Amino acid sequence: MDFRKSFDGLTGVIASVFEISVLDGHLFLFINKRRDRIKAIFWDDDGFVICYQRLEVGTWQLPGSTSTTVELEAHELAMILRGIDLKSARRARYQQPIAV
């Protein structure tokens, strides 16, 4: 993705690639190839909001997926933004075992 895009460009990408309304309340993240810059865009009742962050050191650690789109839970996003690698993180609370 061209990281120079702003409101109209990003909403156009969302509408064409994801084929959903950008007004549905989702937060969309765009990360550059070097994974040192991130843009977030979302609809906030009366307009779009863009947040942009550039890392001075290091890269964003993303979930291990080969897809260009990943759906995250709020806590996963918070962990990524704080620099926690989701691959090495584990839940400390009880999880019911999956029956095989």
pLDDT digits (tens, 9 = 90+) for 29-68: 999 989 999 999 999 989 999 999 999 999 988 876 656 7
Domain boundaries, the chain: 7-81
Structure confidence at residue 66 (pLDDT): 59
- The Cβ-side half-sphere exposure at 53, using a 13 Å CA radius, reads 14
pLDDT digits (tens, 9 = 90+) for 58-91: 998 887 665 677 888 899 899 988 888 888 877 7
Q: Is residue 15 a contact partner of residue 33, using CB atoms and an 8 Å limit?
A: no
pTM of the model: 0.77
Structure confidence at residue 67 (pLDDT): 66
Question: How far out from the chain centre does Cα 10 lie?
Answer: 13
